[in-house]
């Protein structure tokens, strides 16, 4: 199964001024695409060749895992962003953050610290 670079859910300039079209194109069109190309090259002729991306991430190790995980992370990231997004959460999520962290500001500080103290260029997800 050939894995493909997924379409973005918005135009490349839709996230500006937070993320410029140039920056988005660089990360989507270069980094993300390179990971997709690497996965396809690395899985050719292996037990992973016909697996869905999520199954590769669950079962692989080494270079196959690293590239498949980067494809998944980038895809998830692009789909979490929204041209009209932003601002503080409301409702049940805001209440849970206030309960568990004291305030949205304190949550952002702790989350940012968790992200910037990762080794290398890792990902930090709030799920």
**82-126 pLDDT per residue, tens:** 998 878 899 999 999 999 999 999 999 999 998 888 866 778 887
CA 54 to chain centre: 13
pLDDT tops 70 at residue 68? yes
What range defines the domain where residue 47 resides?
A: 1-85
Asked whether 61 and 47 are in contact (CB, 8 A), the reply is: no
Residue 68 backbone phi and psi in degrees, to 5: -65, -40
Domain count of the fold of the chain: 2
CB-based contacts of 18, cutoff 8 Å, min separation 6: 86
Whether residues 5 and 57 share a domain: the answer is yes
List, in order, residues 6 or more apart from 83 with CB less than 8 Å away.
Answer: 10, 14, 15
Q: Give the predicted TM-score (pTM) of the model.
A: 0.83
Same domain, 18 and 68: yes
CA pair distance 82, 121, nearest whole angstrom: 23
pLDDT tens digits for range 7-47: 999 999 999 999 999 999 999 999 999 999 999 999 999 99
């Amino acid at each position: 199964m050939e894995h493909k670079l997924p379409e973005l859910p918005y135009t490349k300039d839709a996230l500006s001024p937070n993320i410029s079209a140039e920056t988005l194109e660089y990360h989507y069109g270069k980094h993300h695409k390179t990971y997709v190309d690497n996965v396809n090259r690395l899985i050719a002729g292996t037990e992973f060749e016909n697996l869905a991306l999520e199954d590769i991430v669950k079962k692989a190790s080494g270079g196959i895992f690293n590239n498949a995980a980067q494809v998944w992370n980038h895809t998830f990231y692009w789909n979490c962003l929204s041209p009209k997004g932003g601002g503080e959460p409301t409702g049940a999520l805001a209440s849970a953050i206030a309960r568990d962290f004291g305030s949205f500001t304190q949550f952002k500080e702790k989350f940012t610290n968790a992200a910037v103290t990762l080794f290398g260029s890792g990902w930090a997800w709030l799920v």
